[in-house]
Amino acid sequence: MGLLSKIFGKTPSEDLPPFARSYLEACRNIDQKVPVEKVRFVVFDTETTSLEVKEARLLSISAVSCTHNQIEVSSALDCYVAWGDEVRPENIAIHGITKRQSDTGLQPEEVIEVFLDYIKDAVLVAHHIDFDISMVNNVLNKYYPGLKIKNLLLDTAQLAIRLEQPRMSSTATNPKDYTLDALMGRYGIDPLERHTALGDAYSTAELLIRLLPKLRKRGLKRLGDLKNS
Amino acid sequence: MAANIIATRIADFLKKYPPFTSLSKEELYHISSEAVVCHFESGDYVFRQGEAGSGNLFVVKEGVIHLERQEEDALVLVDICDEGDLFGVRAMLSGKPYVFHARSAEESLVYALPVALFKPLIESHSQIAMFFAAGLAGGQAGLLDTHTTKRFPYQDSGSLLNWNRPLEKTHGELVWMAPDKTIKEVATVMTDKKIGSMVLCYANGELAGIVTDTDFREKVSTGKASIDAPVSDIMSTDVVTMPLGQPLSNYLLKMLRHKIRHICITTDGKPIGMLSERDLMAAHQNHPVTLVYAMEEASTLKKLTDLRNQADDLIRFYLEQQVSISLTASLATHINDALIRRVIDIALQEVQKKSGAPPVEFTWISLGSEGRSEQLIRTDQDNAIIYDDVNGSTEDKEKVKQYFLQLGGKVNDMLAEAGFEYCPADMMAGNPQWCQPLSEWKQYFSGWIRQPQEKALMLSTIFFDYRRVYGSESLLVQLKDHLKKEIRDESIFLNFLAKNALKNPPPLSFFKNLVVERSGEHRHEFDIKARAMMPLVDIARVLSLDIGQLDEMNTVARYHLLAREEPKRKELYHAAADSYEYLMRIRALNGFTHHDSGRFISIENLGKLDRQILRNTFEPIYQLQQMLELRYQLSYFN
């Protein structure tokens, strides 16, 4: 499995709203030959009510946008989803999100619009990205059936494993060594504010800009190379 | 939405290090929320020597950055910046290319902070201005480092720092076309008008979009669009617009953030003009040469005064920008001289209407700090008139005297109106005592030298620092030769003058604390003039008179010439010159901040670092004072 996987969905129906159509249009024209220095990355993190994709509900989504070596603080995106009904109490212990905060968030449709407008055709990056993408896709599918994330995806956990243990298959590594906390410790990243989506997104971005130069030393030059590294 | 915690953390980090220590929490957060976090591998360049300024200031978060200057045959390490150190300041303030490389010596994380946010802070926070003025950021020439022989001369300034000023109008009229015109039509008009972009508006005046050279290059020359297609096919519709009236820094910041060079200025959603990065820079242009020319042309005192007020901004900018203080002082002198000359011209015209042309040659001289070309801020006027001797009756002599007194008085009044206050001790050309023929001046000088009582010594310290601003050079040369001869004949005078130079109160207490005034209006303030500057000025004068050096009155120049004359004390003299430059800068900035002479510095408002530097400037003073004691055997002298 490559580090990046493109998830193909059904052909989008013409009745999608304009923002979704222009998002899909942007992703359709991704040029794999773009040098890595020109690539825009969006590092994001989600907060959910559970770690089981099937039963989890998206509480908030946060992101920062960066290039191979720069993170723009002003680009930070931090939005809460206002579900309008009950929020399960068990997540409060982990995330500190109260009902009130959730109420002041955006409607799910608005969150989708804001997020897609924000990411455009960027490479999406997250730590254990499969989970976060599934969460986002669930919400997309619920409101706009058939709509899915089409960006190139990059998982910082996989990236670190490939860099540190190039010959080992990912199943042979100890997952505990590749949690975000463990990697932050190893790469000397100051914890910002763990267990908030924005805090984790930023820490993941810091991890990314530390890992990418190491990848470039191994010959990473163009966007397309990310798939095969 | 909660505050951006990334920015909060960066603010927490920054506030530990000067000059950020002096900012409020909100200001820090504001700066931090616009930061860009940059990562560099060992050996990567943050910027290279000669590159244009990036519009950012840099603070090291982690790692080490080396500042290196590429010389013809070698790479010189200028400075090492580690955690919390600030660099890239020089290019930020001057708008000039970087004067050295910034290279990552190990894996580093650096915060890039937009200059546009910083400029207003420099205006409102004297601490920040001082920080830069004192050269405390990485790679700014070490003012007190006597080993730093190379200076970075900045010959002229780019722009004036007034980024808080609101934008009042756009430059020129808006050129626009309808979006249904063909690409060819639009391109033709753009070529004719030599513009790089065209605003497209609907018939009702509302903004439709914009096309730029880039669109033509990317969408037309590549064949994607036909030149006969409507321009709306290639225009971009997400035009960055802003209303009039925002502080200039906001426009610059917007340009930086969107990486664009033009902003469409709108009123009620309708475009009224384009603002380019160049307009923004030009809005600050204020060249000293232009200013001097304008003064020479000015026909009214009002106009002159306005120009002189503008010059204050320029001088302040030079100070903050780390332009060498000698250059800044010479600029200020140049401007003051231009003003005084113009004032004399105007006054002379008025006097001539009534009393005809000047009966004999005369010279207008500036005295004291103006005479030494050291006035950065407008202080009291000290001036005098020397006119040629008159052969004739007492009545004739009196008539001539009255002529120049009238002229002197007029000029004094006009200068006062232009912001140069009257001298409280009345050392002005309008005072009969200081408006005298050459022979009388020679007698004054001889008298002071031969009978050096307290009053005579005091007058010597003012009148021996004289400089011609207007009129005959030959009168001045004659007076100078006389002075030289008198001092040679009466060298004991120098011992008195040296004794007088050591009269100033000491700057540091026994415990090496700065000595503040104990009573009066300036209680708890440090008298930078009496305790630190006057000793340096007075010592330079004694030593220069001693070697017969009467051509340069400027204190810094005097020390440099002394260093040439006496190479074994070269280091001490250069250190004294550097100290004096630093003190001038501090005093002037303090004066600008408080709208006074800047003489009294509130120690509490000085950061620890500034206090430290101030203390260091006293070292050469102590050494010079000891030297004077020995050389003029002052312990035997009462």
Contact A78 B2 (CB under 8 A): yes
Cross-chain CB nearest to B37 (options A71, A78, A79): A71
Q: Give the whole-angstrom CA distance, residue A97 versus residue A57.
A: 13
For the segment B453-479, what is each residue's pLDDT rounded down to a tens digit? 989 999 999 999 999 999 988 999 999
Superfamily of domain B5-133: Jelly Rolls (2.60.120.10)
The answer to ipTM > 0.90 is no
* CATH annotation of B306-489: 3.30.460.10
Q: Collect all residues of chain A within an 8 Å Cβ-Cβ radius of residue B39.
A: 69-70, 206, 209-210, 213
For the segment B557-573, what is each residue's pLDDT rounded down to a tens digit? 999 999 999 999 999 99
For the segment B139-151, what is each residue's pLDDT rounded down to a tens digit? 544 333 333 322 2
* CATH annotation of A18-228: 3.30.420.10
Question: For residue B446, what is the enclosing H or E element?
Answer: helix B438-450
Q: Collect all residues of chain B within an 8 Å Cβ-Cβ radius of residue A41.
A: none
Q: Is the fold of B306-489 the same as that of B499-636?
A: no
Contact A73 B37 (CB under 8 A): yes
Contact A73 B9 (CB under 8 A): no
Cross-chain CB nearest to A198 (options B6, B10, B62): B6
Cross-chain CB nearest to A72 (options B32, B36, B107): B36
For the segment B342-358, what is each residue's pLDDT rounded down to a tens digit? 999 999 999 999 999 99
Instruction: Identify the three-state secondary structure at position B534.
Output: helix
Q: Collect all residues of chain B within an 8 Å Cβ-Cβ radius of residue A206.
A: 37, 39, 109
Nearest partner of B111 among B57, B150, B72, judged by Cα: B57
Distance of residue A71 Cα from the nearest chain B Cα, in angstroms? 5
Crossing angle (nearest 10°) for helices B608-631 and B534-546: 30
Confidence check: pLDDT of B301 > 50: yes
Distance of residue A15 Cα from the nearest chain B Cα, in angstroms? 23
Distance of residue B53 Cα from the nearest chain A Cα, in angstroms? 17
pLDDT confidence of residue A2: 39
State the average pLDDT over residues B1-13: 80
Instruction: Looking at the structure, give the CATH architecture of the domain made up of residues B499-636.
Output: Up-down Bundle (1.20)
Averaged confidence pLDDT in chain B: 82
Can you list the residues of chain A whose pLDDT is less than 70?
A: 1-14, 84-104, 168-171, 193-195, 228-229
- More confident position, B195 or B136: B195
Q: Collect all residues of chain B within an 8 Å Cβ-Cβ radius of residue A213.
A: 39, 41
Q: Collect all residues of chain A within an 8 Å Cβ-Cβ radius of residue B40.
A: 69
Nearest partner of A213 among B42, B66, B67, B112, judged by Cα: B42
pLDDT confidence of residue A194: 64
Per-residue confidence band for B604, with pLDDT thresholds at 50, 70 and 90? confident
Q: Are the C-beta atoms of residues B466 and B367 closer than 8 Å to each other? A: yes
Nearest partner of B312 among B89, B96, B586, B593, judged by Cα: B593
- State which CATH number among 3.40.190.10, 3.10.580.10, 3.10.20.30, 3.40.50.2000 fits the domain covering B176-282: 3.10.580.10
Instruction: Identify the three-state secondary structure at position A222.
Output: strand
> Residues 6 or more apart from B589 whose CB is under 8 A from it?
B126, B129, B130, B133, B316, B319, B320, B598
B2 touches chain A (CB under 8 A): yes
Contact B41 A79 (CB under 8 A): no
For the segment B43-98, what is each residue's pLDDT rounded down to a tens digit? 999 999 888 878 888 999 999 999 888 887 788 887 888 888 888 876 666 566 78
Per-residue confidence band for B489, with pLDDT thresholds at 50, 70 and 90? very high
For the segment B510-523, what is each residue's pLDDT rounded down to a tens digit? 555 666 666 677 77
Contact A206 B41 (CB under 8 A): no
Per-domain residue ranges for chain B? 5-133, 176-282, 306-489, 499-636
Confidence check: pLDDT of B26 > 70: yes
Per-domain residue ranges for chain A? 18-228
What burial letters (b/e) apply to B480-496, b meaning 16+ CB within 10 Å?
eebbeebbeeeeebbbb
Interface test with B, best of A64, A69, A190, A209 (most B CBs within 10 A): A69
Q: Give the whole-angstrom CA distance, residue A125 versus residue A105.
A: 23
Instruction: Identify the three-state secondary structure at position B72.
Output: coil
Peptide bond before B19: cis, by omega within 30 degrees of 0? yes
- More confident position, B131 or B383: B383
